[in-house]
Structure formats: C-alpha cells, structure tokens
Amino acid sequence: MTRLTTKGAVVGLALLGAVGLLVSAFRPWVTGAVDDAVLGATRISATGAEVAPGLTALALAVAAAAIAVVAAGRVARAIALVAYAASVGLAAALAVRVLLDPEGVLGPVAASRVGRTGSVENVADTTVWPWVALLACGVALVGLVGAVRGLREWGGPSARYEVPDAGAGADVAGPRGERVGSDWDELSAGRDPTDVGPDERT
C-alpha cells in the first residue's frame, strides 16, 4: 500500500480539496463592465458562489463522501465512492463553465442586482479563482484515485459495537460455560460492560 492509498491520505486530500473549493467560492471569479440603462456604465464582479451555484454544497459533499469511504461498510463505501466522484466532477464542470463563458455567467448576476430577470450584456474576464477551484478538484481527484486503489486493502469497520445478528443469538458463552448477555445487551440495559466491580478487580 502506497502512502496515497492510506485512509489518512485519502481523507486529507479530500478535505484539502474541499477547503480549496470553499475558499474559492467566496472570492471573485468574474469581473467585467456593463453599460445598462439602470446600472449605467459600471464595473461589476461576482463570486464563485454567485456564478457557480451549488459549489459550496459540492465541496461539503466531497468531504462527507471521503469520510464515508474510509469509515463505512463495503456497500456504503461503494455508494460514497460514487458520490465522491460525482461531486468532484460537478465542481470541476462548474469551474470550466465559468472559464469558457465569463460573460454568460456574469450577465444574470448583473440583472439580478437591479431586480431584473434574464441577462445584462457585459464584457467580462475571469480571475485566478476558477483555476484555484480546478486545482482543488485535482487534489480531491488524487484522493479519489487513492481510495479506489486502496479500497480492497482496507479492513472493514469494527463489529465490536454492532447489534448482534438475530440468527446468531444475542447471548454469548461466559467463562464457566453459562449463557450471558452480550456487551450490546448490557449497554442497552443501561449497564457499563467495562465496569467489572470491586470483587473482580482484586
């Protein structure tokens, strides 16, 4: 197992990518100029959250999915892996859309600021922040590749605190062969199974 396929590396890369997306979402992605009857000739800018709606939610989804990938069971891991990949892909698509058509994404923002629908004609350029968002997606993508490669080598979550299978029976054998309740039953009954009592400590 390489360093990039460990659970810690996967979560670290995913969180780093998610933070990068969150930070960039609140920075200006597009700046431009409009010449409108209401706005007049003025310069205007829009943040990533304005021109790429849903970016912050996707950033949080990347982080949550990565944590689920390393912590959940086999089936849940597969679902989380799909959610992880979809979130990264959608975030990258939003950034690419802004880079390809800055005027198209700035026009509706300018119109909404004067209470209008549709779009306002403008001349716009992108800033460095959409590229930062793409870089963050790339970092998260490395974590995704690490998760795919390391998935088969990771152990499943501990079954110590899982509810006993009804088919297997809720009781376990005690030290003298008697039937005693499981730790789960003790916890459900409000007793601490780790509290051995004064007689057993001596």
pLDDT at 61 over 70: yes
Distance CA 63, CA 29 (A): 22
pLDDT in tens, 155-170: 655 444 445 554 444 4
pLDDT at 92 over 90: yes
Distance CA 157, CA 177 (A): 29
Least confident of 31-40, 93-102, 174-183: 174-183
- SS3 (DSSP) at 45: strand
- SS3 (DSSP) at 102: helix
Distance CA 100, CA 198 (A): 73
Core vs surface per residue 156-170: b (16+ CB within 10 A) or e: eeeeeeeebeeeeee
> What local confidence, expressed as pLDDT, does residue 150 receive?
82
pLDDT at 127 over 70: yes
Domain spans, the chain: 3-150, 171-201
pLDDT at 115 over 80: no
Instruction: Please tell me the pTM assigned to this model.
Output: 0.71
> What local confidence, expressed as pLDDT, does residue 174 receive?
52
Task: List C-alpha distances in Å: 117 to 15, 113, 114, 134, 146.
Answer: 37, 10, 9, 29, 44
Name, in order, each residue with C-beta under 8 angstroms of 45's C-beta and a sequence gap of 6 or more: 28, 30, 31, 32
pLDDT over 70, % of the chain = 74
In 3D space, the residue among 102, 71, 95 whose CA is nearest the CA of residue 17 turns out to be: 95
Asked if residue 107 lies in contact with residue 120, where contact means CB atoms within 8 angstroms, the answer is yes
DSSP code for 114: T
Q: For residues 109-123, give the mean pLDDT.
A: 81
